[in-house]
Amino acid sequence: MTDTTSLPSDLSKDRLRVWLRMLKVTRMIEAELRERMRRTWDITLPRFDVMAALRREEAGMKMSDLSGVLRVSNGNVTGIVDRLEGDGLVERRSVEGDRRAMRVLLTGNGRRMFDEMAAVHEQWVDELLSPIGAQGLSTVHTRLGRITDKLEEKD
Amino acid sequence: MTDTTSLPSDLSKDRLRVWLRMLKVTRMIEAELRERMRRTWDITLPRFDVMAALRREEAGMKMSDLSGVLRVSNGNVTGIVDRLEGDGLVERRSVEGDRRAMRVLLTGNGRRMFDEMAAVHEQWVDELLSPIGAQGLSTVHTRLGRITDKLEEKD
DNA sequence: CAAAAATGTTTCAAGCTTAAAATGTTTATG
DNA sequence: CATAAACATTTTAAGCTTGAAACATTTTTG
């Protein structure tokens, strides 16, 4: 019962099937992670994503860098950073030499909080993706990489 | 330069990497599809998803079936169906024998509109996933299937 | 150097999303 | 049969998301 039932001419249908399955998997995992994060730390996925991006840049990032890395709109980041700032997890500082720009960085609290969350988050992902072994991980990683490469080259 | 660099002990990091890449790919493709749908038909992805579900059920679906299939909350479906109804693409009918429930179905217009969109949508997906050939499709499909299977068995 | 173009951010309106509470209806149970 | 439990849906409040418009500032260019 292997996947050799479909004819080559149905390639397009197969792509649609794979796309729908990808969508299903990511939505299910995202829902599961969101739920656990909400219950464990009362935090949302978007906030976590912003903190993760900032954790990699000790010196902070400009708002526009943040929306670039996260691939979300500028206005979106404004709101999320507003709320994180309200919770004392990030801080906005002006960029010297450019009065338009803002540098956002994690506060000490933010960094401690994120590190704690990241460790658990990694375990959760490991658990949720456990049905895929080393071999599968490598092939999936490669195939998906080809897609992003192609999508990126036209930006 | 194959992917055999990581030690077995880093499996958890590899899973995180694959997860982040999956997230990236689906977000990029979703953004691209959303943008094209907006520009071509001025329609959103959630509306398209609802119509797709209804297209498979000539007789219509109850609101709760709809939210079950699409894996979104009940309240969410209420709003989307409201707007689709406002555009004359779907219709709400009462279910005989149960005054609580509602049966939602595509109108003639909705069906025509969806069929037109679905054909183009399939081409777009084919194009966006074109870097993956028949072989890759089959392996990716299988691996992802294992994850959904596991996530589903605990529902 | 003044005007125009580009850049960085925020604001806005509309729509999506969720969890939880509210409403109305049906089914189960004592 | 009354009432409790379950079910189907909607409403609500809060937050996420986008594209476009508005603002402020910096850079380019004629």
Question: What's the Å distance between residue A72 CA and nucleotide C7 C1'?
Answer: 18
Residue A17's closest chain B neighbor by CA?
A: B141
Q: Is the pLDDT of residue B7 over 50?
A: no
Is residue B37 a contact partner of residue B51, using CB atoms and an 8 Å limit?
no
Q: What is the mean pLDDT of residues B56-80?
A: 97
On chain D, which bases lie within 7 A of the protein's CB atoms? 7-13, 15-21, 24-27
Which CATH architecture best describes the domain A43-153?
Orthogonal Bundle (1.10)
Position A8 confidence tier, pLDDT thresholds 50, 70, 90 = very low
Q: Which of A26, A130, A149 sits opposite B22 (nearest CB)?
A: A26
Q: Secondary structure of chain A: what % helix, strand, coil (to 5)?
A: 70, 10, 20
Q: Is A29 close to B147, i.e. CB distance below 8 A? A: yes
Beta bridge partners of B14: none
B104 token code pair: 């939602």
Helix/strand/coil for B130: coil
3-state secondary structure B72-119: CCHHHHHHHHHHHHHCCCEEEEEECCEEEEEEEEECHHHHHHHHHHHH
The Cα B39–Cα B92 span in angstroms is 28
Q: How far is A89 from chain B (nearest CA, A)?
A: 23
Could you tell me which residue, B5 or A145, shows the higher pLDDT?
Answer: A145
Nearest by CB: B16 against A26, A122, A138: A122
User: Angle CA(B72)–CA(B77)–CA(B80) in degrees, nearest 5?
Assistant: 125
Decide if pLDDT at A7 tops 50: no
pLDDT for the residue numbered B154: 63
The amino acid sitting at B149 is D
Strand order in B98-106's β-sheet?
B61-62, B98-106, B90-95
Task: Parse chain B into domains and list their residue ranges.
Answer: 43-153
In A66-125, the residues whose Cβ lies within 8 Å of chain B are 71, 122-123, 125
- B71 bridge partner residues: none
- Supply B40's token pair: 């071509």
Task: Find the length of chain B.
Answer: 155
Q: Do residues A93 and A81 make contact, with C-beta atoms less than 8 angstroms apart? A: no
Size of chain A, expressed as the number of residues it contains: 155
A40 CB contacts (<8 Å, ≥6 apart)? A120
Cβ distance of A139 and B138 shorter than 8 Å: no
* pLDDT tens digit sequence for B17-45: 999 999 999 999 999 999 999 999 999 99
Kindly indicate the confidence band of residue B62, based on its pLDDT and cuts at 50, 70 and 90.
very high
Chain A interface, best mutation among B1, B11, B15, by max A CB count within 10 A: B15
Whether residue B11 and residue A134 make contact (CB cut-off 8 A), yes or no, is: yes
- Of residues B3 and A77, more confidence is placed in A77
Is A71 within 8 Å of B28 when comparing Cβ atoms?
Answer: yes
| Other CB atoms within 10 Å distance of the CB of residue A100 | 9
| pLDDT 10s digits, B121-143 | 999 999 999 999 999 999 999 99
